[in-house]
A = this chain, B = another copy of it.
Amino acid sequence: MAKRKIYLENIPLAEALERWWKKLKEAGLDKPLAGERIPVDNSLGRVTAEAVSAKISSPFYHASAMDGYAVRFADTFGASETKPKRLRIGKESVYVDTGDPMPEGFDAVIMIEDVNIITPSLTLPPHRPRSAKRGGRGGGQGWGEEFIEIIEPATPWQHVRTIGEDIVATELILPENHIIRPVDIGALLGGGITEIVVRRKPKVVIIPTGTELVEPGAELKKGNIIEYNSRILGGMVEEWGGEAIRIKPVPDDYDAIRKAILEAIEIGDIVVINAGASLGSEDFTASIIEDIGEVIIHGVAIRPGKPVILGLMNKKPVVGIPGYPVSAFLTFRLFVKPLIYTCQGRTVPPEERIEAKLSRQVASPLGQEEFLRVKLGEVGGKLIATPVSRGAGVLMSLVRADGIVRISAQSEGLAAGSEIEVELLRQKADILNTIVCIGSHDNTLDLLANYLKKRYPEMSLSSAHVGSMGGLMALKRGEAHLAGTHLLDEETGEYNIPFLKRLLTEKKIVLVNLVYREQGLLVLRGNPKGIEGFEDLQRDDVIFINRQAGAGTRLLTDKSLKELGIELREVKGYDHEEYTHMGVASAVLSGIADTGLAILSSAVALDLDFIPVAKERYDLAIPEEFYNSEMIKRLLDIIRDDEEFRSHVLALGGYDISDMGKVIYKG
């Protein structure tokens, strides 16, 4: 099969959407799907496809609204405290429970509290007898007649639920295009409706393509990619009210993919092909769509997500979604979500948006609209947005993100401190319950985040790893509630305090110890290159992996090299920076580098050997204004008193918790 030459375009998003929807409209795809009849009992969350009117009234008979006695209101005229009126039970009055039908000809109810029951032989207390309604005493058979005595006349239909009080037969219960809620189900059933016509759920067939794809849980070989995108997309389809049909991964074979697409068009309302949308050698999607139907757009000026394909086949929308998970997520929201809603006769609910201040500068390419993921936190009344990784392959950036900032194609980026609009990916309330920690990374922070969520499900600890110095600067700018720091002052040999005094003169800071920890050089198990210390970094066959400038670990590296008189340019890999201890450990494990400086717990986690270099103090710097807040108190309670947390920290390895939670310094 010949492969047609397809050029990747770069069409502005608005234009792409306009052209796409114009074609959809021409194909009649801008209308909801036909309805299907289903039992009301199964209709929760579905969308009505036609208006629903009541078949019967509710109540459909006059019913007592109270426990008491049914009477004819005309019989009660003239009753008063001085001239009580007596009505024979079973003749002029009949006991009724709430909900009981009114006896024929009766048109008012007197509450049980307002009657006296009179018997010929004895006077019952004004509580109705259990058996009254069952006829035991009605009608006066047996031992004489009973009466109720009332001291006030009744008004017509008092305490009666008349026919149709709730719903009148023929009345509109639900309009078309209404999303059915639990109360709606009640009203439908009450109005005598047991089946209704709802929009059919659009069937979205998701075809993962790629010879390298394997199902989750399969044994992995180098080159395999775990097929999880179809699960992400399928989950989104369900959240939007559609029905996802995930098919097994199809290998990169033109005919196999063509066959899968043709089958999908038969069974689905929307077809989604995942990956195969860029211009790699196995990217057949566009050729196949062009062969069978029409490619309307191939390439949109967005980042990530550019190689998306929008097409039509046999009057059904076919969308080629890029393979990187973040690109897949974003393009699916932009192009497939409105389709799924339209099929159901719904409009996409507007995303919740919020104003925030950007914590650092972001450059962005001209000519492409960028979707930047950010973390959010409210610090001192200001909402601060901090960008997370921008890699289209970094799914964890989405897992961790609180929102998305759109950077216009006409913009070269955003300055630090910009006021920006953020589309929320999490609930606003959750974001306001987030403690923002910016600074040095330590594995105990992940653990702390988990314990906080365990003890207080509504709270989160968000930590951004920008190094100790970056953390203190964030405190200075009022962008964090606390900062993890382990800055060694070369002159005094003291940790952190000299830096607070120097950098945070205008802020009162409480310094609380988290842990003492061991820093050392990580090497592969068995230390194959025989590295013994920093002096080996001069060797030609040893590649180092560094930490970013401003990290406490970087300062320790520089200090160690200086003491040994090693020039930085002698160290191979000195310019290659990682942002976390685990990043360094991972680089060593995977052979990117032979060694790097990191904490013992990261060596333990990835089963590496560890050459101790220094024991250091790792503290949390907390501005006084936050130190006494409820949020921080809860965090400190866990640090100081949660035995489960503390023993969990010890289990990580390499930590000394003897001062954990202790205030080291105030100033």
Contact = CB atoms under 8 A, between A and B. Distances in A.
A171 B190 CA distance: 53
Nearest to A66: B280
A216 B231 contact: no
A41 B238 CA distance: 13
Nearest to A346: B457
Contact of A450 (B51, B449, B460): B51
Interface string A432-463: 00000000000000100110011001101000
A395 interface: yes
A67 B280 contact: yes
Interface in A155-178: 156-157, 161-178
Interface string A222-233: 110110110111
Interface string A603-637: 00110000000000000000000000000000000
Interface stretch (A146-154, A402-410, A587-595): A587-595
A630 to B, nearest CB: 14
A179 to B, nearest CB: 10
Interface stretch (A180-188, A263-271, A494-502): A180-188
Interface string A383-402: 00000000101111011000
Contacts of A273: none
A294 interface: no
Interface residues of A, number: 118
Given A67-B279, A194-B216, A346-B457, A161 B235 contact: no
Given A101-B222, A586-B57, A176 B454 contact: yes
A590 B162 contact: yes
A606 B57 CA distance: 10
B186 A281 contact: no
A132 interface: yes
A20 interface: no
A329 B232 CA distance: 34
Q: What is the predominant secondary structure among interface residues of chain A facing chain B?
A: loop
Interface stretch (A92-100, A116-124, A484-492): A92-100
Interface of A: 3, 40-41, 44, 51, 56-62, 65, 67, 95, 97-101, 107, 128-130, 132-133, 156-157, 161-178, 181-187, 189-190, 192, 194, 210, 212, 216-217, 220, 222-223, 225-226, 228-229, 231-236, 238-239, 278-282, 323, 325, 329, 345-347, 349-350, 391, 393-396, 398-399, 427, 429, 446, 449-450, 453-454, 457-458, 460, 573, 576, 582-583, 585-587, 589-590, 592, 605-606
25 contacts: A40-B231, A41-B216, A44-B238, A51-B454, A57-B586, A62-B592, A67-B278, A67-B279, A67-B281, A95-B281, A97-B282, A156-B576, A157-B576, A167-B395, A169-B586, A172-B450, A175-B449, A176-B450, A177-B454, A183-B325, A183-B329, A185-B235, A186-B232, A186-B325, A189-B226
Given A107-B592, A167-B396, A190-B228, 20 more contacts: A44-B235, A51-B454, A56-B220, A67-B279, A67-B280, A98-B278, A100-B212, A162-B592, A164-B583, A165-B391, A168-B586, A172-B450, A177-B453, A185-B228, A185-B235, A186-B325, A190-B226, A190-B325, A194-B216, A349-B429
